[in-house]
Amino acid sequence: MTDTYIYAAKLDQVKPGKMFRVKLEEKLILLANVDGTVHACDEMCTHEEVSLALGALQGNCIKCSLHGSRFDLLTGKPLDEPADEDLRIYPVKIEDDSILVNIN
């Protein structure tokens, strides 16, 4: 994996407790702000083709709106059935007021 971070959004676009969907190099990425820490993951649920942006943040987890599976935003691990495949998590760093994500 290369250490290349690309611009994803301004920090004020992803308020604490909120999510923001972006497209980075043809990948749909979901940014989630949990208590001031921004996380990045694939935007689609690993169980069904549904946007996790329609779901809800619950602590360090994102809950899919379709079947209720939750994913840990730190590890990508599914915490509930029916999802059984990890969600891809991407490294994030903040520079000035910009959110940068490594999608490689």
- Distance (Å, rounded) from C-alpha 30 to C-alpha 89? 10
Residue 84 belongs to a domain: yes
In terms of pTM, does the model score above 0.85?
yes
**Residue 13 included in any domain:** yes
pLDDT over threshold 90, residue 2: no
- Domain residues for the domain of 77 are 6-101
Does 62 reside within a domain?
yes
The answer to whether residue 59 is domain-embedded is yes
Whether 31 is in a domain gets the answer: yes
Stretch 90-96: mean pLDDT: 97
Total domain count, the chain:
1
- As given in the structure block, the two tokens for residue 89 are 């998590």
What value does the CA radius of gyration of the chain take, rounded to a whole number of Å?
13
DSSP code at position 2: -
Confidence bin at 100 (pLDDT 50/70/90)? very high
Domain membership of residue 54 (yes or no) is yes
Q: How confident is the model at residue 3 (pLDDT cuts 50, 70, 90)?
A: confident
Is residue 63 in some structural domain? yes
Cα(71)–Cα(10) distance, integer angstroms: 24
Residue 86, domain CATH = 2.102.10.10
In a domain, 1, yes or no: no
